[in-house]
Amino acid sequence: MRSKTFRGGVHPHDNKHYSNEKPIEEFPAPKRVVIHLSQHIGAPSKPIVAVGDFVKKGQKIAEANGFVSIPMHTPISGKVVKIGDFPHPIGTVQQAIEIENNGKNEWTDSIKDNEKFLQLSVDEMKNQIKNAGVCGMGGAGFPTIVKLSPPKEKPIDTAILNGVECEPFLTADHRLMLEKPDEIIAGLRIIMKILNAKSGIIGIELNKKDAIKIFKNKLKNSKNMKVVPLKLRYPQGAEKQLIFAATRRKVPAGGLPMDIGVVVQNVGTALAIYEAVRYNRPCIKRITTVTGEIVKSPKNLRVPIGTMISDMINYCDGTNKNIAKIISGGPMMGFAIPTSETPITKTTSGIVLFGEDDIIDTTEQVCLRCGRCVDACPMNLTPTFIVENVKNQNYEEAKKVNILDCMECGSCSFVCPSHIQLIQWIKLGKLEVGKLKKKE
Amino acid sequence: MDLVKISSSPHFHEKVNVKKVMWSVVFALLPALIAAYYFFGWRSVKLTILGVIAAVVTEALVQLFLKKPITVSDGSAVITGMLLAFNLPPTASWWIPVVGSIFAIIIGKQVFGGLGYNPVNPALLGRAFLMASWPTQMTTGWISKLSNSGLKSNIISGGSRQLQDLITSATPLYLAKTVRGDIVSGAAGESAQTIFQNLSSLDYIQNLFWGNIGGCIGEVSAAALILGAAFLVYKHYIEWRIPVSYIGTVAILSWIFGGIDGLFSGPVLFHIFAGGLILGAFFMATDMVTSPVTKKGRLIFGIGCGILTIVIRLWGGYPEGVSYSILIMNITVPLIDKFTTHKPFGYQKIENKK
């Protein structure tokens, strides 16, 4: 199989064997959910319910606050019991709406099946996606409607579906591609219609040969859609690296994929788009992998947004050792969170649990200038110089060596023999560089 | 529930650390040490051990004195001691590696703050210090003393009788330099021509490759050094750019300028395998702390080392230029790094548009 890739990157052990054979299971409606108002990039949503209100499943409970924002819906029917601060899976505390399940599972009446969904007009499609509150489900959570509304002077010719899932441990997208290929392809068709894109590409990493095969078969007779097998290398699924591997086009620094005529959507997003357009169904569930060596039965779950991570761990029969670290997302870019009493959001692609033995040594030693971070950086940066400047609080210089182009993929920290926490320093540096801008 | 750990991403790490890298280098140097034992006997091993002990003890004492954590177990001092001893003639007095290691660790490394901060390779600085202080100890009596101390003469006696005489009197590079100098200046007769041709003959190159020659402890067997270097390259602990550009530059320049029949007639393989080039290119120029971190910078660094090495070998005052060329290039590393910081992904595009 011919495969494509990008320059740089690392080869972490993918650890997907814990859960890649486990079919997606429907998670039973939990007793309570906590819907965060900030699950996406952009302005937090505005609540439109009050404590004590009764809500039906699928009902809108918060509305988009501006163009770069999305509405939120409840995945269960029940009573709003609190609007306030809750732990967020990026490790902070943020505003959220708590809903108690009344066990009735009553849907709002907006759900309907429209078999001729592909004949809807572009505006109707976009409206439905917008109202469904779809945002990028790969991790960043960029409101999908914004990506699907490029300005006129930036025509899009290629739509790429991201089925790379290069994060170790995670298998949610893999299972999704195996189990719902038709829905994903329909999602891609919708995206291509909205963008008027000539070609559609599904990028899949080579450790998912079964998924590649399924899509190859399904797209055998397609003239404008194809599968691109990609080499096993982290971060193959990063947007800019994926675009480069699939099309040889480079997104200009500080620019967006739409600048070079490309839009990338995660395969999970494609499913959400499909459900929004065909069934007018809001984005109230997502597929999340609960995994890790210590998890008794790792699973791929279709979970209501807002479900507590602790409930999901219990559903996987708990752990056989003490939990030493809870990671929301994958181990390369995910967040270590302080408590399992944290609800998942639309972007939580996985919950990885580490035992004491899985914890890495983070004692920093002195930089040997070995240059392994330079070789590993997929953005062709010089991570060691950036970090040196941040450590010296020389933020002007850090900006000059392009700290802002770092996407925090973690490849540099991963290979550093001195265990320097480069990403942590870079995150700090970015905050400080941001303050510089404000002063000017 | 138990408390859980919080840290920044990534939560995953390659199984690598400073100790592992350093001890791998020590491991990679062992074949050369075994070769040294085979060709020069126990004395060379003893000198190496003395160098290592001196380096480790000095580092520990300095750190104790400065009330810093003692980090001798990371193996970097072991490498310094080993490399320093590898650059000595096998007949050197016992205190030579000791004094050299002490100087290398204190002046070459610890005064700058220890591992990671030294501007030049400490072992090479130690060698330069010894060269300046005890030049006779460092540059003479390569083999003659050895043959007295019971060197396995059967190993050396390969090749012609004439060659054997050469070998017992000087290192190949010294010989090549003097003979070539005589030939070029027209002062030499036909025998000099033959000697030079013998030096670049395939037979003799084989001796150079395996190590049947006079030379420093560690540089004698190119084969053993390459074996160790291959391990490091395989483990990604050294990168190809410096050794390839260094050796490549030496090869090209020696071919162009190194001959006795005008340009483009030089003995390329002789210049690659004689002297300390293999040791220098794979184990000393690639020293992480004192070489550039950028990819282009590493190429420039290797080419610079190669040019200086050939300049010293052919026209300089010493027969061998590897250690000085690396020392000089070490000093240029901050500049090289500064001017070779590469454009990040996605910057070329914008330039094109402009």
**Burial level of B106, CB count in 10 A (0-12/13-18/19+)?**
middle
CB-based contact, B12 to chain A, within 8 Å? yes
Task: Note the ipTM here.
Answer: 0.85
Using 50, 70 and 90 to split pLDDT, how confident is the model at B157? Answer: very low
Angle, helix B95-106 to helix B122-133, in steps of 10 degrees: 130
pLDDT, residue A26, reads 96
Give the phi and the psi of residue B7 in degrees, each rounded to 5: -155, 165
Using 50, 70 and 90 to split pLDDT, how confident is the model at A4? Answer: confident
Cα dist. A15→A296, A385, A409, B151 in Å? Answer: 15, 32, 18, 56
pLDDT, residue A126, reads 95
Q: What is the CATH number of the domain that holds A135?
A: 3.40.50.11540
Q: For strands A46-47 and A60-63, give the pairing.
A: antiparallel
In A, minimum Cα distance to B9 occurs at A333
46-65 in B: which are within 8 Å (CB) of A? none
Secondary-structure percent of chain A, ordered helix, strand, coil, rounded to 5: 30, 20, 45
pLDDT, residue B170, reads 60
Number of cross-chain residue pairs from A and B with Cβ atoms under 8 Å apart: 167
> Residue A28: pLDDT above 80?
yes
Single-letter amino acid code for the residue at B223 = A
Shortest distance, CA B259 to any CA of chain A (angstroms): 37
A329 domain residue, yes or no: no
For residue A182, what are the domain limits?
111-279
**Average of per-residue pLDDT values in chain B:** 85
| Pure H helices in chain B | 18-40, 42-65, 76-86, 95-106, 122-133, 135-139, 144-148, 153-156, 161-169, 172-184, 190-199, 202-210, 222-234, 241-257, 268-273, 277-279, 295-315, 322-340, 347-353
Residue of B14, B293, B346 lying closest to A252 (CB–CB) = B346
My answer on whether A117 and A265 are in the same domain is: yes
pLDDT, residue B149, reads 36
Using 50, 70 and 90 to split pLDDT, how confident is the model at A124? Answer: very high
Q: For strands A299-304 and A24-26, give the pairing.
A: parallel
State pLDDT tens for residues B217-274.
888 889 999 999 999 999 888 889 999 999 999 999 999 998 888 788 888 999 999 8
In A, minimum Cα distance to B116 occurs at A368
The domain segmentation of chain B, as residue ranges, is: 18-139, 153-214, 238-338
My answer on whether A266 and A376 are in the same domain is: no
Residue that terminates a domain, selected from A279, A298, A315: A279
A211 domain residue, yes or no: yes
The SS3 assignment for A102 reads coil
My answer on whether A376 and A271 are in the same domain is: no
Residue that terminates a domain, selected from A279, A297, A332: A279
CB-based contact, B117 to chain A, within 8 Å? yes
A207 domain residue, yes or no: yes
My answer on whether A273 and A128 are in the same domain is: yes
Residue that terminates a domain, selected from A279, A305, A333: A279
State pLDDT tens for residues A225-273.
999 999 999 999 999 999 999 999 999 988 899 999 999 999 999 999 9
Using 50, 70 and 90 to split pLDDT, how confident is the model at B144? Answer: very low
Comparing CA positions, the residue from A405, A393, A377, A379 lying closest to residue A429 is A393
The A72-73 sheet, strands edge to edge:
A46-47, A60-63, A72-73
> Residue A200: pLDDT above 50?
yes
Residue of A7, A251, A415 lying closest to B346 (CB–CB) = A251
Shortest distance, CA B293 to any CA of chain A (angstroms): 5
State pLDDT tens for residues B58-83.
999 999 999 999 999 999 999 999 99
A393 domain residue, yes or no: yes
> Residue B143: pLDDT above 50?
no
What total of structural domains would you count in chain A? 2
My answer on whether A261 and A131 are in the same domain is: yes
- Alpha carbons A51 and A63: distance in angstroms, whole number: 16
State pLDDT tens for residues B311-349.
999 998 888 889 999 999 999 999 999 898 888 888 864
> Residue A20: pLDDT above 50?
yes
Any bridge partners for residue A286, and if so which?
A303
